[in-house]
Amino acid sequence: MTPKLNAGVLFKAAEQRLNLTWTVTSSVAATRPLQSQHTTSLFSNEHSKPARQALAGYLNLVHPNQVQVIGREEQAHLDTLDAKSRWATIASIIAHQPLAIVIADGQPPPPDLQEAAEEASVAVWQSPHSSCTNVNFLQHYLSRALAESTLLHGVFMEVFTIGVLITGAPGCGKSELALELITRGHRLIADDAPEFTQVSPDVIDGTCPPAVQDCLEVRGLGILNVRQMFGDAAVKANKFLRVIIDLQVPSDRQALAELDRLQPGPNSRRVMDTDVPQIILPVLAGRNLAVIVEAAVRDFSLKMKGIDAASDFIERHRALLAQQGSK
């Protein structure tokens, strides 16, 4: 899903950080929405055609930005144009109906640009900050605000600084496992319905919807407020999703016997446009799943550093067999 955004919403989000002030405002300008060609996913896969325009950037007349930032250099360029070329340039800026025009570096807006913007009901904002600061903040905010997001069923936690999504069928013990991990010093981000946002092509950020903030539902106990029970250190606002741990109850002994005990094999789950590593853990009576999850996360961290215990074990035995064969 992609949220809607207009000039008024963007101004409120950036007003304090960029010290923005309106120089041209109207009800039409404030409610002007982002143009439709920009509301597709910012991180398109290879099968889709990404837009060439940027959401925010320095003044661009070839592929106009939705937020055109005009700094000292851009104003200096306008001042070098003769009257006819200058007016044609300003008309081109306004004709593309940008979401807003930001006059950066504390400069006053050019009178002819302001006049054209007023006639077309295009928002013009003034900022004392540099054009670079404006572009960086606006690009970051817009990319986050318009990024593709989705809800997944599971418990999202931070375990040893790693973002871990615990999934599984209803009743398999996800919340009980999360409660045990919290008592062991790990942190809850969201229970039942964590929201994930694709903030870059290979990075997914997870957070908690406001309705279930700090809450954990445990069968038999109902809703628990983790922050009030365990303190502020037991919860976290957001975390990048790095690994999924899927709890599975084996259907029978045969299914359990068929599991590869040395190398379960690479597994992943597609979340939006990213393949996230997935670890499948069988749920069996008597297993301490909290300890096993901690071990799984530690092992995952080691594998990210190129250390694979199973591969080392197999290689060690291969070398021993080769040595015995040579004798």
**Residues with catalytic annotation?**
153, 174, 192, 261
Cα 127 from Cα 134, distance rounded (Å): 8
Residue tagged 């997914």 (tokens): 204
Using alpha carbons, list the distances in angstroms from residue 3 to 68, 93, 142, 305: 21, 26, 11, 37
Cα 284 from Cα 78, distance rounded (Å): 72
- CA nearest 201: which of 57, 48, 93, 42? 42
Beta bridge partners of 204: 198
In sequence order, what DSSP letters do the residues of 48-105 get, joined into one string?
S---SS-SEEE--SSS--SEEEE-HHHHHHHHHS-HHHHHHHHHHHHHT--SEEEE-T
For residue 232, count CB atoms less than 10 angstroms from its CB and return exposed for 0-12, middle for 13-18, buried for 19 or more. exposed
CA 178 to chain centre: 23
> What tokens appear for 114 in the block?
């302001």
* Residue 193 near residue 151, CB atoms below 8 Å: yes
Cα 302 from Cα 74, distance rounded (Å): 50
149-151 and 238-248: which strand pairing? unpaired
